[in-house]
């Protein structure tokens, strides 16, 4: 009899913001490891394209159009996942937006501030609350994997709203790692480095940015969404059952300097 600690067959994962970027990188690997994956996103066309791609890896993959800043939509979406698959074993609250207006902090409006918090913080709260409720009721443990950011530690000039949400996510994760341990539910966070996604595409075309940042990345390349697949599988697998409360940097060595 063989033992594969990374086999996720029979497990169900929810990935918000799973129709592109890091979220899709998570989803591809989880599906390949045998998990039934449900990706959530607001863009129906992107959802459909990602769902089609994932179904070529694992035919059970599905997508849901959901705005995580809307509490009712999150509750309905989580219920739909349970109705379809019967359970939830992993939750990856990955959906997020950046600061929309790069202007001085004292010029930020309430709308600038709360639009980011609604998605990046409230959305994570709604998603994790619904997921942990289901996991606790199942009584079989589970995995929570939050996508934070280096700005949670370093801050971000003119991007304070984004950085604040990512820092709050780390605090939320650490609290969950303690509270949920009695239910055999682990909670960890991933801090990505500079990844080639839609959110960062503008920066990577800016020569000054590239000239300043690339020399600080020992691996000498930008990260790719698929660089996050293996860590997703690990954190949802039996291999990580005693690994909780951690902040894991996947950044090509950027944070060393």
Which tokens belong to 76? Answer: 């309905």
Query: Would you state the pLDDT for residue 105?
Result: 93
Q: Provide the domain count of the chain.
A: 1
Catalytic residue of the set 126, 162, 183, 234: 162
Query: Would you state the pLDDT for residue 1?
Result: 55
pLDDT digits over 172-189, tens only?
A: 999 999 999 999 999 999
Integer CA distances (angstroms), 241 to 6, 234, 238, in order:
11, 9, 5
Residues facing residue 190 across a β-bridge = 147, 248
7 domain-assigned: no
Query: Would you state the pLDDT for residue 183?
Result: 99
Query: Would you state the pLDDT for residue 148?
Result: 98
- Residue numbers of the domain that contains 34: 12-249
What percent of the chain clears pLDDT 70, i.e. is strictly above it? Answer: 99
162 is catalytic: yes
Total residue count of the chain as it appears in this document: 257
143: phi then psi, degrees, rounded to nearest 5: -135, 130
127 domain-assigned: yes
254 domain-assigned: no
Element (H, E) at 92: strand 90-93
89 domain-assigned: yes
Regions in the chain scoring below 70 on pLDDT: 1-2
Q: Check which CATH number belongs to the domain holding 143 and give it.
A: 3.40.50.720
2 domain-assigned: no
Reference 46, options 26, 30, 23; nearest CA is 23
Query: Would you state the pLDDT for residue 206?
Result: 85
Q: Do 38 and 26 meet the contact criterion of CB atoms below 8 Å apart? A: no
4 domain-assigned: no
- Residues with Cβ < 8 Å from 244, sequence gap 6 or more? 177, 181, 186, 187, 188
Distance CA 18, CA 179 (A): 27
6 domain-assigned: no
Distance CA 147, CA 92 (A): 8
Reference 35, options 54, 11, 53, 59; nearest CA is 11
């Amino acid at each position: 009899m063989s033992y594969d600690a990374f086999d996720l067959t029979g497990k169900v994962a929810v990935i918000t913001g799973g129709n592109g970027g890091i979220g899709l990188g998570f989803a591809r690997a989880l599906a390949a490891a045998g998990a039934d994956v449900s990706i959530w996103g607001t863009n129906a066309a992107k959802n459909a394209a990602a769902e089609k791609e994932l179904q070529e890896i694992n035919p059970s993959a599905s997508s849901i159009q959901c705005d995580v800043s809307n509490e009712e939509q999150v509750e309905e979406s989580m219920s739909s996942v349970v109705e379809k698959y019967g359970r939830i074993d992993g939750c990856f609250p990955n959906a997020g937006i950046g600061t929309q207006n790069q202007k001085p902090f004292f010029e930020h409006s309430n709308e600038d501030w709360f639009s980011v918090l609604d998605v990046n913080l409230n959305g994570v709260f709604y998603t994790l609350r619904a997921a942990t409720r289901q996991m606790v009721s199942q009584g079989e443990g589970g995995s929570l994997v939050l996508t934070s950011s280096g700005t949670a530690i370093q801050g971000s000039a003119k991007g304070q709203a984004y950085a604040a949400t990512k820092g709050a996510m780390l605090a939320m994760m650490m609290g969950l790692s303690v509270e949920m341990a009695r239910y055999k539910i682990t909670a960890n966070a991933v801090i990505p480095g500079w990844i080639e996604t839609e959110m960062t595409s503008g920066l990577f075309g800016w020569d000054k940015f590239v000239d300043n940042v690339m020399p600080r990345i020992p691996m000498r390349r930008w990260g790719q969404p698929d660089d996050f697949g293996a860590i997703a599988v690990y954190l949802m697998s039996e291999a990580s059952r005693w690994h909780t409360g951690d902040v894991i940097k996947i950044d090509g060595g950027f944070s060393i300097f």
